[in-house]
């Protein structure tokens, strides 16, 4: 077995049992004599897969009955457009800018409605969730948009903003299924699959039913949530294989004990890294303590010039994709659900050794 520990921010490492099952079912799935890639999306055998994927996601996340689950394409980025197009009523929305994806979402929305940036942590290079004490939310806004976990900066909301009756919309791409989320607090949440759900190609949208059907009449059919809601995400050919992989990941997560069980493991993994970072003066954790992400751990070395050496030596030890995002530099270890404790332990051991040799 020559697998490495892959700390990529996404597409990210998958659970080995999922890969092995996909491999086993690659040529002939479920005794059907064909792969999932070759099945008609309207066949009984494929319908069983997509229906099970939705049912398992509903169970794992505790999605209430008055919410629809939509399987869409276009990545989380397409949702930056879909959200304003579909939720526009009064023509204005509040955005909290906690990182560059949040900023991109707000910039895209500004093409369709008036965007009010109620809070931003840009001044501190997004090392925290913005302070909302003085945020002026508009009670007539069509929605408030947040990014629950900021993949590049390694921060997350530990408490959701209070937005009254205004729908809260969340980009949960990098922390969906990593810890329990009270879906009823959201009007809509969306996530690209390539971190905690599976592989790139499908985006999951969980939307409260009353928010569906508001889009203008000339909305392109594939951007309208109603199209997906009315057709069980089968208006056209859905991303069949990514949905199948998502189902395998959901099976795995259920076997692991579900979201509360994976949260406990995620906390142990993150604490192992953060505790180490807090007890050395060689490395510096960049995110504010109270807002630290469980999924993306960001830190710097004494000199930016050491980053490349760290990344190179780590890779020689089977620890790959640790380079921080180009906009912030430093190191980022993405430790999504599928990263085993063993990988994090190996990283911490490597960090201690690196510090010894270069500190």
Give yes or no for residue 76 binding ligand PMP (CB under 6 A): yes
Which of residues 94 and 108 has its CB atom nearest to ligand PMP in the complex? 108
Please tell me the distance from the alpha carbon of residue 359 to that of residue 112, in angstroms, as a whole number. Answer: 52
Distances (CA, A) of 211 to 54, 66, 149, 214, 272: 19, 11, 23, 7, 41
Task: List the x/- string, 9-28, binding to ligand PMP by CB under 6 A.
Answer: xx------------------
Q: Contact between 173 and ligand PMP (CB under 6 A)?
A: yes
Residue 236 labelled as part of a binding site: yes
Q: How far is the CB of 204 from ligand PMP (least distance, A)?
A: 11
The one among 187, 192, 198, 324 contacting ligand PMP by CB under 6 A: 192
Under the binding rule (CB under 6 A), the answer on residue 77 touching ligand PMP is: yes
The verdict on 71 binding ligand PMP (CB under 6 A) reads no
Identity of the residue, 75 or 180, whose beta carbon is nearer to ligand PMP in the bound complex: 75
Residue 307 annotated as binding site: no
Contact between 151 and ligand PMP (CB under 6 A)? yes
147 binds ligand PMP (CB under 6 A): yes
Q: Is 194 annotated as a binding residue?
A: yes
Instruction: Identify which range of 166-174, 213-221, 230-238, 278-286 contacts ligand PMP by CB under 6 A.
Output: 166-174
Establish whether 101 is an annotated binding residue: yes
- The 3-class SS string of the chain reads CCCCEECCCCCCCCCHHHHHHHHHCCCCCCCCCCCHHHCCCCCHHHHHHHHHHHHHHHHHHCCCCCEEEEEECCHHHHHHHHHHHHHCCCCEEEEEECCHHHHHHHHHHCCCCEEEEEEECHHHCCCCCCCCCCCCCCCCCCCEEEECEECCCCEECCCCCCCCCCCEEEECCCCCCCCCCCHHHCCEEEEECCCCCCCCCCEEEEEEHHHCCCCCCCCCHHHCHHHHHHCCCCCCCCCHHHHHHHHHHHHHHHHCCHHHHHHHHHHHHHHHHHHHHHCCCCCEECCCHHHECCCEEEEECCCHHHHHHHHHHHHHCCEECCECCCCCCCEEEECCCCCCHHHHHHHHHHHHHHHHHHC
Query: Annotated binding residue at 352?
Result: no
Where does this chain touch ligand PMP (CB under 6 A) — which range of 170-178, 247-255, 259-267, 304-312? 170-178
- Residue with the shortest CB distance to ligand PMP: 75
Using the rule CB under 6 A, is 73 a contact of ligand PMP?
Answer: no
Q: Which of 46, 67, 71, 101 binds ligand PMP (CB under 6 A)?
A: 101
User: Is 151 labeled as ligand-binding?
Assistant: yes
Q: Measured from the CB atom, is 29 or 239 closer to ligand PMP?
A: 239
Give min distance, CB of 150 to ligand PMP, in A: 7
Binding site for pyridoxal 5'-phosphate: residue ranges? 76-77, 101, 151, 171, 194, 236-237
The residues of the shown chain that bind ligand PMP, judged by CB under 6 A, are: 9-10, 75-77, 101, 147, 151, 171, 173-174, 192
Binding site: residue ranges? 42, 76-77, 101, 151, 171, 194, 236-237
């Amino acid at each position: 077995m020559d697998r490495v520990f892959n700390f990529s921010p996404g597409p990210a490492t998958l659970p080995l049992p999922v890969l092995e099952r996909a491999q086993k079912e690659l040529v002939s799935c479920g005794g059907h004599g064909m792969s999932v890639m070759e099945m008609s999306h309207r066949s009984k055998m494929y319908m069983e897969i997509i229906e099970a994927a939705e049912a398992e996601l509903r169970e794992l996340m505790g999605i209430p009955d008055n919410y629809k689950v939509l399987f869409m394409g276009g990545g989380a980025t397409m949702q930056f457009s879909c959200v304003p197009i579909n939720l526009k009523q009064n023509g204005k929305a509040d955005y909290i800018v906690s990182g560059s994806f949040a900023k991109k979402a707000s910039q895209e929305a500004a093409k369709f409605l008036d965007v009010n940036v109620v809070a931003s942590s840009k001044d501190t290079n997004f090392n925290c969730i913005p302070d909302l004490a003085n945020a002026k939310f508009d009670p007539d806004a069509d929605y408030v948009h947040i990014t629950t976990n900021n993949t590049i900066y390694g921060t997350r909301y530990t408490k959701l903003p209070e937005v009254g009756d205004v729908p809260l919309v969340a980009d949960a791409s990098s922390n969906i299924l990593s810890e329990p989320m009270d879906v009823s607090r959201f009007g809509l949440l969306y996530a690209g699959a390539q971190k905690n759900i599976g592989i790139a190609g499908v985006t999951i949208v969980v939307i409260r039913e009353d928010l569906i059907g508001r889009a203008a009449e000339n909305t392109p059919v594939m951007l309208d949530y109603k199209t997906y809601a009315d057709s069980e995400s089968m208006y056209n050919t859905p991303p069949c294989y990514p949905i199948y992989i998502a189902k395998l990941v959901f099976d795995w997560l259920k076997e692991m004990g579900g979201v509360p069980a994976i949260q406990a493991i995620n906390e142990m993994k993150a604490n192992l890294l953060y505790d180490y970072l807090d007890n050395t003066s060689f490395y510096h954790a960049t995110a504010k303590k109270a807002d630290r992400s469980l999924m993306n751990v960001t830190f710097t070395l004494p000199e930016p010039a050491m980053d490349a050496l760290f990344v190179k030596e780590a890779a020689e030890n089977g620890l790959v994709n640790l380079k921080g995002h180009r906009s912030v530099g430093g190191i980022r270890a993405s430790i999504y659900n599928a990263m085993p404790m063993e990988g994090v332990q190996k990283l911490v051991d490597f960090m201690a050794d690196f510090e010894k040799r270069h500190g």
